[in-house]
């Protein structure tokens, strides 16, 4: 046999070996996963046919129906990919508290073109090192420094909403999303993009498009392979906008670094806004401090983390606030109680809130928590099962994906009687007694819990309190009519239609 023949024979044997290994793995998975109950799985596509026949607005109802038929642990198949859905708090705890199960599921892969391997998507020692390094960035003192940003941006929002405060019906979601984008740009990058006043700016619309197309892709498993996604119009648009987003954050980091190098006496760079120049620390400053103080962080590493904050800190809070507004708009009594608490805090003054004010908003905090129970911004958490394990009496083989179903687990009647009822009093200290600690995990739990949860609660309080102090909210659509799409973020498919009246 000549050398070319030997190359071909070796390549054929290698390919056959790989195919056999692949098949063996598939059979091994089918063997164990097949014993777990779940809907009809067809050859090749598995239960993926459901994603094709069910529209996004029907997915939550479908998953509820599967739970009712197959129980609190069920399996789904997408081709070769097995997912085990886990709903009970006791089993969710097992996964979230494990230091071995910290690798995210494949579903997070399509976030990587945007976020690289930042805190959300990384694993192993890289994640551990970054988590340790970034935890101080969310210290109380740092968050206190952001309260002014929250309050100012909320004030812009209140002014913008004035055009709609004559009782006519409109979708409040876009206004909330632009406000939270303004907040995260300023707190993460120290940049004022003025999204609320200029939603058409290239960076603002590119960020919104990247987030939207990432969500769309999450619901379409056939778009997961990158080479297919790149060939579609959505894929081409995604990469074009992604380039704009990355160029922007890259430029901000570069300029901020240069600014510091030219003014070494100033510890922090300055944040510029329309009222002049103010000294304010952004997460980016803290990262630059760390890199200048010997941490192993180059500009590309910093960009991963800044982009991660931009993603995690924008849509999650926008969705959470919009759902809270929706629920308040359905419950005038609860809305009134929240308003009375604000009256007590602010008396007749129209001053902006301080950190202490935000901390005093105890009832509003219960409202926010209850809204996050019914509509958790992150409805599913995915993990890669990195070793054979056992859960709820089922064997879970290594290599399957674990999907923790927060939306359903937050409705477990064992811990939440009359689960669909919106009742902030469930979060009174007495009512919490005896409840499983993992029955409510909108910010996840264990080692990979949300690093930004205190930031998020403060931001929500600042925005919601500003709206409540100025307007009475009335929701237009019924609870049943507003459908949530279980994308990466639990988003109301047709927005949140409200009527506002000035107080």
> What whole-number distance in Å separates Cα of residue 82 and Cα of residue 129?
30
Looking at the Cβ atoms of 94 and 448, the one nearer to ligand HEM is 448
Task: Report in angstroms how near the CB of residue 444 gets to ligand HEM at its nearest.
Answer: 4
Give the single-character DSSP code of 488.
Answer: S
| Residues 6+ positions from 400 with CB-CB distance below 8 Å | 29, 33, 82, 83, 84, 385
Task: Report in angstroms how near the CB of residue 15 gets to ligand HEM at its nearest.
Answer: 35
Looking at the Cβ atoms of 41 and 149, the one nearer to ligand HEM is 149
Query: Do residues 468 and 335 touch, judged by C-beta distance below 8 A?
Result: yes
Task: Report in angstroms how near the CB of residue 81 gets to ligand HEM at its nearest.
Answer: 17
Task: Report in angstroms how near the CB of residue 329 gets to ligand HEM at its nearest.
Answer: 19
Task: Report in angstroms how near the CB of residue 42 gets to ligand HEM at its nearest.
Answer: 29
Q: CA angle 250-252-257, nearest 5°?
A: 95
- Return the SS3 of 270: strand
Looking at the Cβ atoms of 41 and 297, the one nearer to ligand HEM is 297
Cross-strand pairs, 76: 83
* Residues within the interface to ligand HEM (CB under 6 A): 104, 119-120, 131, 308-309, 312-313, 316-317, 320, 377-378, 381, 442-444, 448, 450-452, 455-456
Query: Do residues 353 and 462 touch, judged by C-beta distance below 8 A?
Result: yes
Cβ-based neighbour number of residue 78 at 10 Å: 20
- For ligand HEM, which residue has the nearest CB? 452
Cβ-based neighbour number of residue 114 at 10 Å: 23
Looking at the Cβ atoms of 175 and 317, the one nearer to ligand HEM is 317
> What whole-number distance in Å separates Cα of residue 74 and Cα of residue 394?
10
| Residues 6+ positions from 30 with CB-CB distance below 8 Å | none
Residue 209 tokens read as 């498009």
Residue 495 tokens read as 């927005």
Looking at the Cβ atoms of 88 and 187, the one nearer to ligand HEM is 187
Looking at the Cβ atoms of 459 and 477, the one nearer to ligand HEM is 459
Task: Report in angstroms how near the CB of residue 184 gets to ligand HEM at its nearest.
Answer: 7
Sheet containing strand 471-475, strands side by side: 166-171, 497-502, 471-475
Task: Report in angstroms how near the CB of residue 41 gets to ligand HEM at its nearest.
Answer: 25
- Does 208 show up as a binding residue in the annotation? no
- End-to-end CA gap in the chain: 89
Task: Report in angstroms how near the CB of residue 130 gets to ligand HEM at its nearest.
Answer: 8
Query: Do residues 315 and 438 touch, judged by C-beta distance below 8 A?
Result: no
Task: Report in angstroms how near the CB of residue 335 gets to ligand HEM at its nearest.
Answer: 20
Cross-strand pairs, 169: 499
Looking at the Cβ atoms of 66 and 137, the one nearer to ligand HEM is 137
Q: Closest Cα partner for 416 from 105, 201, 486, 424?
A: 424
Identify the H or E element spanning 20: helix 3-33
Q: What share of the chain is helix, strand, coil (3-state, %, to 5)?
A: 55, 10, 30
Residue 35 tokens read as 């014993």
Looking at the Cβ atoms of 84 and 120, the one nearer to ligand HEM is 120
Looking at the Cβ atoms of 208 and 472, the one nearer to ligand HEM is 208
- Return the SS3 of 104: strand
Residue positions forming the annotated binding site: 450
Residue positions forming the annotated binding site for heme: 450
């Amino acid at each position: 046999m000549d050398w070319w023949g030997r190359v071909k024979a070796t390549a054929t044997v290698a390919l056959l070996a790989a195919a056999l290994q692949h098949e063996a793995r598939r059979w091994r998975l089918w063997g164990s996963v097949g014993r777990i109950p779940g809907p009809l799985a067809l050859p090749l596509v598995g239960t993926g046919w459901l994603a094709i026949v069910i529209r996004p607005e029907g997915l939550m109802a479908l998953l509820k129906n599967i739970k009712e038929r197959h129980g609190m642990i069920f399996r789904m198949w997408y081709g070769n990919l097995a997912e085990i859905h886990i709903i009970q708090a006791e089993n969710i705890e097992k996964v979230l508290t494990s230091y071995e199960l910290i690798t995210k599921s494949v579903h997070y892969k399509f976030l990587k073109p945007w976020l690289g391997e930042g805190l959300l998507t990384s694993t192993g020692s890289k994640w551990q090192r970054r988590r340790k390094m970034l935890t101080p960035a969310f210290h109380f003192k740092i968050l206190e420094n952001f309260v002014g940003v929250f309050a100012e941006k909320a004030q812009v929002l209140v002014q913008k909403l004035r055009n709609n405060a004559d009782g006519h019906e409109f979708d409040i979601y876009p206004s909330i999303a632009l406000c939270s984008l303004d907040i995260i740009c300023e707190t993460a990058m120290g940049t004022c993009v003025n999204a609320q006043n200029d939603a058409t700016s290239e960076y603002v619309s590119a960020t919104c498009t990247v987030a939207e197309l990432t969500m769309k892709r999450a619901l379409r498993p056939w778009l997961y392979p990158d080479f297919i996604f790149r060939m579609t119009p959505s894929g081409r648009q995604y990469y074009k906008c992604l380039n704009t987003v990355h160029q922007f954050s890259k430029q901000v980091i570069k300029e901020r670094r240069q600014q510091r190098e030219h003014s070494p006496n100033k510890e922090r760079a300055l944040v510029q806004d329309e009222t002049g120049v103010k000294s304010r620390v952004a997460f980016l400053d803290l990262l630059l401090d760390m890199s200048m103080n010997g941490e192993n962080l180059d500009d590309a590493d910093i960009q991963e983390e800044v982009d991660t904050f931009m993603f995690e800190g924008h849509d999650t809070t926008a969705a959470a606030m919009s759902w809270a507004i929706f629920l308040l708009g359905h419950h005038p009594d609860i809305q009134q109680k929240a308003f009375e608490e604000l009256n007590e805090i602010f008396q007749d003054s129209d001053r902006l809130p301080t950190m202490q004010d935000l901390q005093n908003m105890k009832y509003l905090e219960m409202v926010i928590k209850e809204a996050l129970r019914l509509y958790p911004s992150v409805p599913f958490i995915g993990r890669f099962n990195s070793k054979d394990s056992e859960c709820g009496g089922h064997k879970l083989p290594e290599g399957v994906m674990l999907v923790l179903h927060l939306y359903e687990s937050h409705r477990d009647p064992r811990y939440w009687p009359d689960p669909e009822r919106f009742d902030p009093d469930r979060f009174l200290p007495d009512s919490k007694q005896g409840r499983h600690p993992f029955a409510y995990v909108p910010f996840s739990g264990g080692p990979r819990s949300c690093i930004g949860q205190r930031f998020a609660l403060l931001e929500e309080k600042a925005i919601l309190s500003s709206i409540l102090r100025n307007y009475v909210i009335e929701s237009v659509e019924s609870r049943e009519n507003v459908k949530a799409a279980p994308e990466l973020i639990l988003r109301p498919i047709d927005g949140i239609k409200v009527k506002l009246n000035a107080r």
